[in-house]
Amino acid sequence: MAGPVAGRERLSAADASNIVMDAPDQVNAFLMAGVLAPGGPLDPDGVPDVAALRAAFAEAVPAAPRLSQRVVPDGRGFAWEPVTLDLAQHVRLVEPVDGLPGLEALCARLMVTPLPLDRPLWELLLVPGVAPRRVGLVFRIHHAMADGLAAVRLVELLLRPAAGPSGSDGVAPDSTVASGTSSTDAPVRIATPARRTLRARWRTLTSGVERTAVVFRQSVPRTILLGPIGPRRGVAFIEMPLTALAAGAETEGATVNDALLTAVVAAAEAALRARGEPVPSILPASVPVALAERGRSGNAIGVMLVPLPTGIADVATRLRRIAESTRARKPDARSRGTFELTRTRLGAWLFFRFVRRQRVIVMFVTNVPGPRHPLALAGAPLERVWPVVGIQGNVRLGVAALSYDGVLRCAVHTDADAISAEVFGDALRRELERVAALE
């Protein structure tokens, strides 16, 4: 077998699995959408100087090598290969949209638009028309490059603090059955060996098969939440003051992440009832938890499957039940680390086919604590930002949340032919308000 090619760096198992699980009908990428105010390269009318923005990015690129690397086959795996970065391809001005609904629609289309594999797996789009004297921002990243925590760190590198120090505390998102929402407490440190023997790899594969067999013995009733995912997607943005939500959650000894799950399950229950479908007693969600040790990997998350209870009208009782469940499940999710079958190329390939027919979870939910202070892109203040994660396998609903500058902002992503993102988003907003009212 040929040795490593000079200048190349092998992808970690977790990063490589995200290449294997990519598909034309289910693009394995996520994005952050935002609104920029005038300043720096944005004139008082919100018109961007694209050349100035590219120059600002060029200064930041050396501190983030992944921005100028592409993925190439390397023996039985994949490698990062340095390339000459053409910022004209990666930082672009697109056609104007009609307000925030237009930005939501653009994000929905981008979730089914592949990123070209012949160049670095990211792009930054400037979107006129989102609001008067404002410009939209869409930063799209392939999951092989980063999970949610790594993406937030990259955004903090590219968008400097607008005032005061910037910080993020952390957890990570994902968009496969092996990942889905993050917790808000500090992660336990888990050592990850740099190299693994053939025997260790075999133990990983057999452990993964055993763990998968146990998981897949579970089965949820068929509803509109599961099924083949079509090409027409829906995206809806909502937001909630973070202080009020955290205070409401604290009344029941819960976290903001628990509050999000409490609102999501009630919104899902409302969506099922609106379609005249029976509501299962449990709606299991895939929830990621952050792992502290990642080395050079862009992805370092464990998986937590949370059985969200339905039929509980009292929001405090529902919140308390969910908080008890997540407290019990987080340590196990972190101790196991990344899902075993996604640590090998063959395992990821098999897992990708499993998830198209699974009946273990019915939704993805992810919550990423973001920068605590305002950021700016080359001097243009970032006023608002929403994360959008992919939906994959046969799961038609994903909810992502990001805390930024005192506000929790959520993006709902759905298969539009099965679930209305707008209707679900309205229900989610109402349920978050109910949690905040517990204060």
Return the CATH number at 75: 3.30.559.10
363 in any annotated domain:
yes
The answer to whether the beta carbons of residues 115 and 47 sit under 8 Å apart is no
For residues 112 and 114, give the distance between their C-alpha atoms in angstroms, rounded to a whole number. 6
Spatial separation of the C-alpha atoms in residues 254 and 192, rounded to whole Å: 30
pLDDT band at 337 (very low <50, low <70, confident <90, very high): low
Indicate the range of 213-222, 298-307, 312-321 predicted with least confidence: 213-222
Integer Cα distance of 144 and 20 in angstroms: 10
Both 151 and 212 in one domain: the answer is: no
* Phi, psi (degrees; rounded to nearest 5) at 80: -85, 130
pLDDT digits (tens, 9 = 90+) for 121-148: 999 999 999 999 999 999 999 988 877 7
How would residue 334 be classed by pLDDT, with cut points 50, 70 and 90?
low
Question: Would residue 227 count as lying in a domain?
Answer: yes
Give yes or no for residue 270 having a pLDDT over 50: yes
Most confident of 20-29, 67-76, 342-351, 420-429: 420-429
97 and 155 housed in the same domain? yes
Domain boundary among 106, 140, 161: 161
The answer to whether 377 and 34 are in contact (CB under 8 A) is no
Which residues, 6 or more positions from 359, have their beta carbon under 8 angstroms from its beta carbon? 218, 219, 220, 222, 226
Mean pLDDT for the stretch of residues 223-247 = 96
Domain C-terminal end among 161, 186, 206: 161
Of 40-49, 67-76, 101-110, where does mean pLDDT reach its minimum?
67-76
- Do the domain assignments include residue 186? no
- Residue 110: CB atoms within 10 A of its CB come to 22
Residues paired with 137 in a beta bridge: 34, 126
Residues 343 and 418: their CA atoms lie apart, in Å, by 32
203: domain CATH number? 3.30.559.30
Answer yes or no: is pLDDT of 168 > 80.
Answer: no
Q: Do 203 and 155 reside in the same domain of the chain?
A: no
**Lowest mean per-residue pLDDT among 10-14, 128-132, 400-404:** 10-14
Q: Over 90: is that where the pLDDT of 309 sits?
A: yes
Residue 171 domain flag: no
Dist. CA 239–CA 437, nearest whole Å: 15
Range of weakest confidence among 316-325, 338-347, 400-409: 338-347
Return the residue matching tokens 């990983």.
Answer: 204
Q: Is the pLDDT of residue 230 over 90?
A: yes
Provide mean pLDDT across the span 385-411.
Answer: 95
Let me know whether 208 and 135 are in one domain: no
pLDDT tier for residue 20 given thresholds of 50, 70 and 90: confident
Residues 111 and 219 in one domain: no
Helix runs in 217-255, H state only: 242-250
Cβ atoms of 113 and 136 closer than 8 Å: no
Which residues on adjacent β-strands are paired with residue 39? 42
Decide if pLDDT at 392 tops 60.
Answer: yes
3-class secondary-structure state, position 371: coil
pTM of the model: 0.83
Asked if 205 and 157 sit in the same domain, the reply is no
pLDDT tens by residue, 198-228: 665 555 455 555 555 555 556 788 899 999 9
Tell me the pairing of strands 397-404 and 407-415. Answer: antiparallel
Do 330 and 421 share a domain, yes or no?
Answer: yes
- Is 62 exposed, middle or buried, given 0-12, 13-18 or 19+ CB atoms closer than 10 A? exposed
Domain edge (last residue) among 101, 132, 161: 161
Tell whether the model's pLDDT for residue 428 goes beyond 50. Answer: yes
354 class by beta-carbon count within 10 Å (0-12 exposed, 13-18 middle, 19+ buried): middle
pLDDT over 80 at 374, yes or no: yes
The answer to whether residues 81 and 29 belong to one domain is: yes
**So what's the pLDDT on residue 140?**
95
Helix axes of 345-354 and 13-20: crossing angle, nearest 10 degrees: 50
pLDDT of residue 197: 57
- Cβ-contact 94, 123 below 8 angstroms: no
**Number of independent structural domains in the chain:** 2
Q: Is residue 187 part of a domain?
A: no
**pLDDT of 100 strictly over 90:** yes
Higher pLDDT, 346 or 383: 383
Overall average pLDDT of the 177-182 stretch? 33
Both tokens assigned to 305: 């499957």
The answer to whether position 184 is within a domain reads no
Q: What is the pLDDT of residue 356?
A: 65
91-93 and 301-309: which strand pairing?
A: unpaired
Do 242 and 149 belong to one domain? no
DSSP 8-class letter at 37: P
Q: Are residues 217 and 156 part of one domain?
A: no
The residue range of the domain holding 49 is 9-161
Q: Are residues 265 and 388 in the same domain?
A: yes
Quick check: 85 pLDDT over 60?
yes
Least confident segment among 240-249, 285-294, 319-328: 285-294
